[in-house]
Each structure stands twice: as structure tokens, then as C-alpha cells.
Amino acid sequence: GAGVSQSPSNKVTEKGKDVELRCDPISGHTALYWYRQSLGQGLEFLIYFQGNSAPDKSGLPSDRFSAERTGGSVSTLTIQRTQQEDSAVYLCASSFSTGGTGQYFGPGTRLTVT
């Protein structure tokens, strides 16, 4: 079946502009996660949605970052007033809410802030 998809695959934006990144999870997966990976670095947790529960926003680095998940499926990560340090690959992952089958990652969006 189809895996996690993300769009756009690449985004170049000017400092100070807002960007929206989209994630389509695997069908039937009710848990959705956003991570950030800077060049040559590990995976930094940003936010986690689990069904209808309040999201775990504990990883968001500043109030310029926000995310929504509409209808329990598609999620959008928004970065306002982008800064150069926001440049990274933004990865989305999804999983079944139960069953412990692991998180499956999308291809990521490479964000470059100039």
C-alpha cells in the first residue's frame, strides 16, 4: 500500500516568510509525528498527534512553529517568520495507535531558508 507522503519535497524560502509543510499518513494510522533533521544530525522530535487526544507539542522549538491535523488524517506543519536556523529536513511519520508496529517515515521536506 501507499506509504507516508510529504509535500513539497523541497522548499526554498526567504528569511521572514511563512511556510507550510504537508504530511499524508498511511491509511489507517491514527498516530502522526513530526521530526526535524539538520544536516548530519539526529532526529529531533517536534510534535505528536494521537487520535483525538491533545497533541504533544513538547518538542516545538519556538512559538513560530505550529501544527494541525484535520480529520484525523492529513497534517500541516507551519513555520512562521522563518529563520536560517530553521533550515533542515522535516520528516513526518505515522503508526497505528496500537499494536506497536513502529513508526514509518515519509521522504521528508528539505527546507532551505535564505
Partner 1 sequence: GENVEQHPSTLSVQEGDSAVIKCTYSDSASNYFPWYKQELGKRPQLIIDIRSNVGEKKDQRIAVTLNKTAKHFSLHITETQPEDSAVYFCAASIMGRGSTLGRLYFGRGTQLTVWP
State which residue, 14 or 101, has the beta carbon closest to partner 1.
Answer: 101
Question: Residue 76, class by beta-carbon neighbours within 10 Å (0-12 exposed, 13-18 middle, 19+ buried)?
Answer: middle
State which residue, 59 or 74, has the beta carbon closest to partner 1.
Answer: 59
Q: Which residues bind partner 1 (CB under 8 A)?
A: 31, 33, 41-43, 45, 48, 50, 56, 59, 91, 95-100, 102-108
CB of 109 to partner 1, least distance (A): 11
Inter-CA distances, 51 with 3, 31, 97, 104, Å: 19, 6, 7, 17
CB of 33 to partner 1, least distance (A): 6
Q: What is the spatial distance between Cα 24 and Cα 32, in angstroms, rounded to a whole number? A: 9
State which residue, 42 or 71, has the beta carbon closest to partner 1.
Answer: 42
